[in-house]
Structure formats: structure tokens, C-alpha cells
């Protein structure tokens, strides 16, 4: 049976066998435990794959299961893992809680000898959270080039190991996503911080990755604005998604076109909202600033 591979002092990873265009090389489930703790916390059970869930259960006793967001490649295995371990499953989305309360942003979870801070990071989905572990440190291969003392952030799909994140329909939001990047950057600039994504390898400099993500988002937004102008369309126009995708994402692989459509829809909604906000008089005593950057 596969067993989790240590990544940092407090975390190890077990990759599920569900590779694909949206899951990269497979969903990464993480096992968290303080040194010497008899129990562990599992973050993202992954798909409903018996071998994967058996291996996670064998890493236990599992005291608690946490979920970064509602997508099936992270949550479908949650009922099966609860069945195997009896551990409560907590998620920001009540629909994905099993025997546990919904996670709240700003909450501190204490389990397996750890302090786990919950950071609400909507944008990829409305219920996305990141989980923050202070006082961690790299082990094994990661120890080369990473300071001995780091903060670890489990980022779910909000920040990935490679590529960029989709703003998922129907609840993905660009405005929320940009604010979430700010919130992660605030954590990641307080000291050396590594990101443990739901897909793809460790992000060794999370602050730098977040800045690159913001730049990418604002670049895409500028492209979408330019496409709308060239097409003579308002952001809310009928068929705007199709026409903008055809122009801006002309050369993406067909396997990710659905994702591109969802991200464009979120960008058009952002622009429609921003345009609407721009037509309103600014609130008294505050300067009028818009966060579209481009």
C-alpha cells in the first residue's frame, strides 16, 4: 500500500491516481501531524478511490478531515474516509461536512497537536479556504533552498503547483479571487512561506507565486477588455463569452476550453460589476478606486 511522503516537518502527501487536464498529475491529499502526535489530520480526501482512501486511513488514526473546497476531485472520497476512520469531515460548504461543523474563515482548528488557521480564500469557488501551519520546516529534497523555518499554506486549488487557477462556474469570482490573493500574500510576506497545492508540486516561494498569479489575472483581464472593445460588445452582451473565448483563448488546448469559458464568464461578470460601480457616485469621503489594474 502506498504511504504518504513527508514534505515538511508537519505534512506529508499522498497523490491520488486521477490525472487529467484539470487535476494535473492527480489530487494531492495531505496528512498533517505534530511530531509525536498519535493522530493525524487529512486535508482533501480526494476522489472516491478505495486504494487511495485505504492508504490515507492507514496513515491514521485520523482525528479530523478538512476539505479545501467542494470540487469532487477533493471531496468525493470524504464519505468513504469517514466510513473507514470515523473522523468528522469539515468544509466551508455545509453540504460537504459529515459529522462536523462548517469551517469559518479566521477560525483556528486544533487537532493532531497542531494549530491550523483557516483563511477564507473564495474565487476559485465561493467556499475555497487555505489552511495555514506556522512553525513548520522543510524535510528531504525540499530542505535544499528552503529556509529551516517556514510557514506552510495548504492552498487547495486557489494556488496550484503549475499553471493557473480556473474561476469555476457558477460561484467563481475574479473580485473575490484578487482579494484572496492579497490575503495569501499578506501571510506569505510575513516570513518564508511554502505553498502545498491541491495539484502539482510544492510552491517554494508562495509570495512570488501569488504576485505572478495576480499579474496573470490582470493581463487576462486586459485581454478580455481589449477583445470586448474590438468586438464592440458590452461585458454582459449575449454570446460575449463565446466570442471573447474565441479571441483571447484561441490557442488553448481543447481539453481546457470549458475551464477557459468559466474563467471568461467570471471576468465578464467582474467587468460588468466594475462598470456598474464606476457609474455610481463615489461614497462620500473616499477616493474612487477600482481594482482592475490594467
Site residues for Zn ion, window 7-46 (CB under 5 A)? none
User: Quick one: which segment of 6-14, 68-76, 202-210, 216-224 binds Zn ion (CB under 5 A)?
Assistant: 68-76
**Least separation, in Å, of the C-beta of 198 and Zn ion?**
7
Going 9 to 10 to 16 to 19, the CA torsion angle's sign is: negative
Give the residue with the Cβ less far from Zn ion, 157 or 185: 157
**Least separation, in Å, of the C-beta of 71 and Zn ion?**
3
User: Quick one: which segment of 64-72, 147-155, 258-266, 283-291 binds Zn ion (CB under 5 A)?
Assistant: 64-72
User: Quick one: which segment of 52-60, 69-77, 102-110, 135-143 binds Zn ion (CB under 5 A)?
Assistant: 69-77
Residue 67: partners with Cβ closer than 8 Å, 6 or more residues away? 43, 44, 45, 74, 75, 78, 89, 90, 91, 92, 93, 96, 103
DSSP E strands in the chain: the ranges are 5-6, 11-15, 28-32, 40-43, 62-66, 89-90, 108-111, 114-120, 129-136, 150-156, 193-197
Give the residue with the Cβ less far from Zn ion, 197 or 235: 197
Query: How far, in Å, are 19, 164, 226, 236, 282 from residue 203 at the CA level?
Result: 19, 12, 32, 36, 39
**Least separation, in Å, of the C-beta of 69 and Zn ion?**
6
How many chain residues are in contact with Zn ion, going by CB under 5 A?
Answer: 2
Distance CA 235, CA 216 (A): 20
**Least separation, in Å, of the C-beta of 217 and Zn ion?**
17
User: Quick one: which segment of 104-112, 153-161, 175-183, 267-275 binds Zn ion (CB under 5 A)?
Assistant: 153-161
**Least separation, in Å, of the C-beta of 168 and Zn ion?**
6
**Least separation, in Å, of the C-beta of 3 and Zn ion?**
25
Angle separating helix axes 240-248 and 206-231, nearest 10 degrees: 120
Give the residue with the Cβ less far from Zn ion, 71 or 82: 71
Distance CA 15, CA 196 (A): 12
**Least separation, in Å, of the C-beta of 67 and Zn ion?**
11
Tell me if 157 contacts Zn ion by CB under 5 A.
Answer: yes
Distance CA 85, CA 64 (A): 9
Instruction: Give backbone dihedrals phi and psi of 202, rounded to 5 degrees, phi first.
Output: -55, 140
Give the residue with the Cβ less far from Zn ion, 72 or 139: 72
Give the residue with the Cβ less far from Zn ion, 49 or 157: 157
Beta-bridge partners for 196: 154
Contacts to Zn ion by CB under 5 A:
71, 157
Amino acid at each position: 500500500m502506498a504511504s504518504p511522503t513527508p514534505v515538511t516537518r508537519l505534512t506529508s502527501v499522498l497523490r491520488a491516481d486521477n490525472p487529467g487536464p484539470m487535476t494535473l498529475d492527480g489530487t494531492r491529499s495531505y496528512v498533517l501531524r505534530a511530531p509525536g502526535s498519535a493522530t493525524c489530520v487529512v486535508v482533501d480526501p480526494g476522489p472516491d478511490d478505495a486504494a487511495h482512501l485505504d492508504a490515507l486511513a492507514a496513515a491514521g488514526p485520523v482525528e479530523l478531515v478538512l476539505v479545501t473546497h467542494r470540487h469532487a476531485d477533493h471531496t468525493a472520497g470524504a464519505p468513504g474516509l469517514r466510513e473507514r476512520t470515523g473522523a468528522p469531515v469539515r468544509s466551508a460548504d455545509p453540504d460537504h461536512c459529515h459529522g462536523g461543523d462548517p469551517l469559518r474563515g479566521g477560525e483556528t482548528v486544533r487537532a493532531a497537536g497542531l494549530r491550523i488557521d483557516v483563511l477564507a480564500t473564495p474565487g476559485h469557488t465561493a467556499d475555497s479556504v487555505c489552511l495555514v501551519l506556522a512553525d513548520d520546516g522543510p524535510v528531504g529534497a525540499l530542505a535544499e533552498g528552503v529556509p529551516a523555518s517556514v510557514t506552510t499554506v495548504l492552498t487547495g486549488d486557489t494556488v496550484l503547483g503549475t499553471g493557473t487557477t480556473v474561476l469555476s462556474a457558477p460561484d467563481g469570482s475574479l473580485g473575490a479571487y484578487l482579494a484572496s490573493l492579497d490575503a495569501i500574500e499578506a501571510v506569505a510576506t510575513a516570513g518564508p512561506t511554502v505553498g502545498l497545492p491541491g495539484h502539482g508540486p510544492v510552491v517554494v516561494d508562495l509570495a512570488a507565486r501569488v504576485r505572478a498569479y495576480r499579474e496573470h489575472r490582470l493581463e487576462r483581464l486586459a485581454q478580455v477588455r481589449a477583445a470586448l472593445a474590438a468586438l464592440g460588445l458590452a461585458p454582459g452582451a449575449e454570446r460575449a463569452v463565446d466570442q471573447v473565448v474565441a479571441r483571447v483563448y484561441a490557442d488553448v488546448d481543447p481539453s481546457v476550453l470549458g475551464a477557459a469559458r468559466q474563467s471568461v464568464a467570471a471576468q465578464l461578470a467582474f467587468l460588468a460589476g466594475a462598470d456598474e460601480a464606476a457609474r455610481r457616485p463615489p461614497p462620500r469621503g473616499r477616493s474612487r478606486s477600482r481594482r482592475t489594474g490594467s
